[in-house]
Structure 1
Amino acid sequence: MASSTANRWLRPEVYPLFAAVGVAVGICGLQLVRNICINPEVRVNKEHRAAGVLDNFAEGEKYTEHFLRKFVRNKSPEIMPSINSFFTDPSRS
């Protein structure tokens, strides 16, 4: 029974599925660790929870404006801009 299950799931055809699920789980894990460690609204310690609601806008702004958001802020929302411009620019034809 165990060998048939292994033969069914450990085929080369399912490796992309394992990779996609692994990447998704990794992204979720990184977001969880990021929220637990540096989110100003998450308090794990009892002393921090007792403080109540803090109006700490500077720390919230620092958390929100992270590196990736700053990097993509002025970029166009295209995956392949050169190919898109090649097919949509009328002056190229």
Structure 2
Amino acid sequence: MASAGFAKRWLRPEVYPLFAAVGTVVGICSMQLVRNICINPEVRVKKENRAAGVLDNFEEGEMYSQHAVRKFLRGRRPEVMPSVNKFFSDPN
């Protein structure tokens, strides 16, 4: 009886965008968590690596912070929709 109420309330077409938005956010958070655990030079999961203390590994930190997306967006203007911004901001 409880499952019928759940399905009746939450499995409706009006709720699908909410599921999509929450699923996207959970995916992004999971991706960032895995990225930090796996390749962040300051995170050490194994006990042997934690015993090393503070390391001055500037090259590894530079590779982590300057990833491919940041390199791709480096020379671009910070705009979401450049054509709309240009249309409304540039006078003819």
Q: Please give the alpha-carbon distance, in whole angstroms, between the structure 2 residues aligned to 1:57 and 1:71.
A: 21
Match of 2:35 in 1: 34
Match of 2:72 in 1: 71
> Which amino acid in the other structure matches residue 75 of structure 1?
R
Post-superposition offset of 1:76: 1.1
Partner SS state of residue 85, structure 1:
helix
Q: Please give the alpha-carbon distance, in whole angstroms, between the structure 1 residues aligned to 2:17 and 2:52.
A: 47
Partner SS state of residue 78, structure 1:
coil
Match of 1:2 in 2: 3
Identity among equivalent pairs (%): 70
Match of 1:18 in 2: 19
> Which amino acid in the other structure matches residue 54 of structure 1?
L
> Which amino acid in the other structure matches residue 12 of structure 2?
R
Q: Alpha carbon RMSD of aligned pairs, Å?
A: 0.8
Post-superposition offset of 1:5: 1.4
Partner SS state of residue 34, structure 1:
helix
TM-score normalised to structure 2 length: 0.94
Q: Please give the alpha-carbon distance, in whole angstroms, between the structure 1 residues aligned to 2:31 and 2:91.
A: 43
TM-score normalised to structure 1 length: 0.93
4+ residue segments displaced more than 4 Å: none
1:44-64 alpha-carbon deviations (Å, 9 max, x no partner): 111001111111111101100
